[in-house]
Structure 1
């Protein structure tokens, strides 16, 4: 993509005119005292209030905070894409000398997508499902540069190759649903970069992605920012992502900036109590599982209700009358580090295994981990699940998706078994079979000695009450037409348990157990926050006093503070009820905190199993080591992963998995034997087993190359 400068205008090798470069090569975007309101009938929400931010050329500004803090709304205001009823009510958005606030729609359209572009959070809903990806990537070039259809298609293929789409010329004609989540996100990045904008706003670009794909996408954005001389605003609630990828950080709370500064200064010497608490809420790979995670009490304020004082005061243990009555303004310290806190933290920043100054005295006793029982409550024996798909194979046979391919493990009473792996490895398919929501192709699920996979629907009915599932998407799994009380009573009504009054009493008890007020009974799901809905999902799963609970990605969509609350709740319920739990997640820190034993899945098979200490402390499979290397740590001073230690490349198709070891196509340790023979699970030490021809001898610290061949 060679360029030449003509009268201050950048032209690509295809002749496309691009945005002017900043005359001084410095400040690209300046936001001063920005305020936004959204009017919905009589209700007026103020999601952004008096925000000041600055972005220099080639810099990444990270904006972090809980849901509702104003992060995404700030990005949408810059793009001129506020939702219906939304408008900028004050302040300035200066883009290289052009005032964007109040800019006519026609002029905004000329800038949007050309000079300032956005990578949206949900690639599946942001991409048009009825149009091929090549057309969608080429569209900005045709609109902004009036390129011919052929030239725009050439440019689109060039960008798809640049963002790492394999065989871009072939994939141009694919539809979004034909791509994996990581590939769709790469298409979104290609669309944003096709006109080589000066500023890219990445709004939670990796929230729903696996840790390995997340690392690839963020590294890709860093590389492209450097190569193309762009500036980037990275919006996220993940402090680990910010620590590794942002130059400057702005922490937002209740629509305002609470703290800003260079990344090393903000993480190393946090000043605002909210930032301090956010960092302490993060579950880490080194957290002591016997101790509760710190969580910020309460919830963010309602931005439709005016409030005096510091908006964080109701949730801060250090708050005084001054905090409740007077609103602090941003005060600047040496090095551009600013904060808005009446009682700033002094001293080094705490990490997740320490108690922050904002925390109230602990009220709960340390978590006691269960001892392993000899008799398993749940046994999974050589479980397989294949789904037929259209078309025929090379030899004329029917094509099938091999979702689960011979998985075996046991779970004792009171024990938690964690399943980790990338999307598409078969975790959720396995979970549905464990609670009899799906029938296996072969193999058995044995619950308390009874093979539930052989039971008829009538025999299975009473057993279903004892095997429950906590679904990933609490919003989609709760009927929007039913009040929470009816949702909690429904399982009891189906099983014929008690009368209505008894069911209501049980629903009230369940709400108390999961830490929700009784007023929730009369609310609808949309009236609750994400964390509250997830608590309702757990309460519904516990309504019938099950013996087995399968939790499928129970906290993947939650903010870090709410996540800690739900994780602590799950561990408490597990301990009190002696549940046998299977926790499915791609978040390795979550699994480490909840699980007593861990199974690592890859393309339908278990490749490593053992106690949490064995798998995390003495990792034996290159795939597990690669996943651990990709976990972002909320510490900008932490050493970066060794070159090549992360899992790279695209997950092979489960329709036609590789011969031998299924991981061999992404593992540089692979040899001829890996292609010729499938490795069996072999004991390493104790209960630790690994399925690998070349297991790691010194755990995750061994410098191995895991790049794709």
Structure 2
């Protein structure tokens, strides 16, 4: 094997098994007078054919470590100490020209956001072919052939046609596959996948991760998988490195780290994860506080301010690395002992259990919100003479009810119509037909003047808290604005109410004088919830309320939403593609596919015995934070892409991805059929509870 010295020249003695060695790596980023140290003394190794998972909260240094390996640190960033050895080539101090020769050829990166990472002005085939032309000197024709081969390898249908598409013409899952093809086209030794599935649905996420595993094995590569999802790490990493405040807190084989977690931070992360078996009476464990400011150097353990077991020694002296058998190392003065995966700390909420209803719960409640046969279609393109205008069929005949104090969950893949439906529920959008009734009164067809007095009772918590908060307004002004619009209270009363709202969502009064960009993601999401609750609404629609948050912050926001909903008696609709989140928050659930509700029922009924193959496939794709033998699945994972809502399949819209589809599925649309209790399913061949656990859904 060829080895190099510090300047890229050959040197003997490299270990053929070890492809990457990081020793005592430190990085600093200078912004004016402020110096941030996102990576401090990191040491990691990667062997041939191995997947190393790097996990931690936002700001822990995961992505910055990957960028340091790639030699792509942001402006003002530099490696201040340490070594990065790629198969005998020292990367720290390597001349830029030599680094460019390695980047894309020997090491490659799959970036988190495929839409921004791909050039929107160039066709995808050109972008995949470019590394082959640069690094291998291939002709334009040969590079195009190689690019087409890679697009087929990563599972893109009709790759020859897709070569000439632009990124915006592809779905999120397809764009991510293009990113993978770009990274693998030169068959690099090491691939760094930085949050490759964060923005994707659970079904697409499972496909992408399985694809990476398969390609890694077939091409003999090694992979660094950067993520904050412990379930992804459990199923796809051979070894794990847990990072906190720019340092490696714990590292070791995946099974050993999950079963015998030693560092208090790792234990807290695992304890914060909602699962499909979570008891809804229990409060989710959350890590107190927030990650430290990386511009401030602490003398002791950086996790000490958030650790319940911290002592004076933790605050004054940095822990040294200790090692268990099997290469399991950790840096903690008071390590956890014993198995931890199935022993999560929890506090019981004072919320009645849905499995043991009280006498009050047994009495039927009048619907607070009624959704009756809603239809919403969006025209696309330009009308041509004598031509029928095409429409996106976002919502197609959806009906359900939400009782006072009840939480209804909506789940499904991106593009199924969840968010379009949510906007109609709060009268931000009008349906083409059907209606929404609030306390028996139709609101979907009201004029703006008629809707005005009722607008305060229908509120929405938006998915992107950063985009939904005005960056030019301080938080205090944002919270006072609803009262000013409705003409409620004096200036002093509005200011007092803003302080109360912050207190209700667990934020200090000092936040009132800050701008949105000065807050963390979790704090902004709390402000979004406070603003939605300002006018004491009766109905709250929460659209992906925690999808962009770290697991520790997510548990805090979920606990807050449960508490507020219980205290105020809110009727809530929670929209999410995270099935564990919906199971924790919702009393009843509706599963949407391509604009239609295919299954509804109580959360317990639907999750315990899914009747629709699509629901079973979604549940099967949920990654578990447990590297042991997987629990019994209701079906195999979903395959294939969601059909275009411009031209949905005839009959049952799911039939093109269903293993049970027959002729009747192609000709006749299934009607909702009642099963046990409140459980209803729209399927010609519903799964039974016994068969659902043994059948495998395969792609057609």
Same fold (TM over 0.5): yes
Deviation at 1:438, TM superposition (A): 0.8
After superposition, the Cα gap between the structure-2 partners of 1:571 and 1:46, relative to the gap in structure 1 and judged at 3 Å, is same
* Alignment of 1:265 onto 2:279: no
SS state of the match for residue 371, structure 2?
A: strand
SS state of the match for residue 38, structure 1?
A: strand
Deviations 1:323-358 (A, max 9, x none): 11111021111100000000111111143x7317xx
Contact 1:667/1:705 (<8 A) preserved? no
SS state of the match for residue 37, structure 2?
A: strand
After superposition, the Cα gap between the structure-2 partners of 1:321 and 1:597, relative to the gap in structure 1 and judged at 3 Å, is same
TM-score (structure 2 length as normaliser): 0.95
Aligned to 2:6: none
SS state of the match for residue 51, structure 1?
A: strand
Aligned to 2:505: 514
1:529-548 paired onto structure 2 within 5 Å: 529-548=520-539
SS state of the match for residue 454, structure 1?
A: coil
Contact 2:281/2:348 (<8 A) preserved? no
SS state of the match for residue 136, structure 1?
A: helix
* Alignment of 1:354 onto 2:341: no
* Partners of 1:364 and 1:642 in 2: CA distance: 29
SS state of the match for residue 242, structure 1?
A: helix
SS state of the match for residue 296, structure 2?
A: coil
Aligned to 1:153: 144
After superposition, the Cα gap between the structure-2 partners of 1:24 and 1:324, relative to the gap in structure 1 and judged at 3 Å, is closer
After superposition, the Cα gap between the structure-2 partners of 1:196 and 1:649, relative to the gap in structure 1 and judged at 3 Å, is same
Number of aligned residue pairs: 687
Contact 1:620/1:699 (<8 A) preserved? no
* Partners of 1:168 and 1:610 in 2: CA distance: 40
* Alignment of 1:412 onto 2:389: no
* Partners of 1:694 and 1:364 in 2: CA distance: 39
* Partners of 1:535 and 1:682 in 2: CA distance: 39
Aligned to 1:17: none
Aligned to 1:19: none
After superposition, the Cα gap between the structure-2 partners of 1:668 and 1:309, relative to the gap in structure 1 and judged at 3 Å, is same
* Partners of 1:700 and 1:520 in 2: CA distance: 54
* Alignment of 1:445 onto 2:433: no
* Alignment of 1:295 onto 2:316: no
- Of 164, 167, 175, 2:155 maps to 164
TM-score (structure 1 length as normaliser): 0.94
Aligned to 2:662: 671
1:285-364 paired onto structure 2 within 5 Å: 285-351=276-342, 354-355=344-345, 362=347
Aligned to 1:16: none
- Of 54, 60, 78, 1:87 maps to 78
1:68-147 paired onto structure 2 within 5 Å: 68-147=59-138
1:568-579 paired onto structure 2 within 5 Å: 568-579=559-570
Deviation at 1:701, TM superposition (A): 4.5
| Structure 2 runs not aligned, ≥5 long | 4-12
* Partners of 1:448 and 1:608 in 2: CA distance: 25
Deviation at 1:138, TM superposition (A): 1.0
| Structure 1 runs not aligned, ≥5 long | 1-6, 10-21, 357-361
Deviation at 1:25, TM superposition (A): 3.8
* Partners of 1:394 and 1:683 in 2: CA distance: 46
Q: Which moved more, 1:173-182 or 1:508-517?
A: 173-182
Deviations 1:481-534 (A, max 9, x none): 111111111111111111222111111000000001111101111111110010
Aligned to 1:591: 582
- Of 517, 520, 533, 1:526 maps to 517
* Partners of 1:479 and 1:161 in 2: CA distance: 44
1:520-669 paired onto structure 2 within 5 Å: 520-639=511-630, 645-669=636-660
Deviation at 1:667, TM superposition (A): 0.6
After superposition, the Cα gap between the structure-2 partners of 1:644 and 1:156, relative to the gap in structure 1 and judged at 3 Å, is farther
Deviation at 1:368, TM superposition (A): 5.6
Aligned to 1:487: 478
Deviation at 1:395, TM superposition (A): 9.7
Deviations 1:102-155 (A, max 9, x none): 111111111111110000001111111111111111111111122222111111
* Partners of 1:392 and 1:699 in 2: CA distance: 51
- Of 232, 250, 255, 1:241 maps to 232
Contact 1:258/1:272 (<8 A) preserved? yes
* Alignment of 1:191 onto 2:170: no
After superposition, the Cα gap between the structure-2 partners of 1:310 and 1:699, relative to the gap in structure 1 and judged at 3 Å, is farther
After superposition, the Cα gap between the structure-2 partners of 1:240 and 1:37, relative to the gap in structure 1 and judged at 3 Å, is same
SS state of the match for residue 75, structure 1?
A: helix
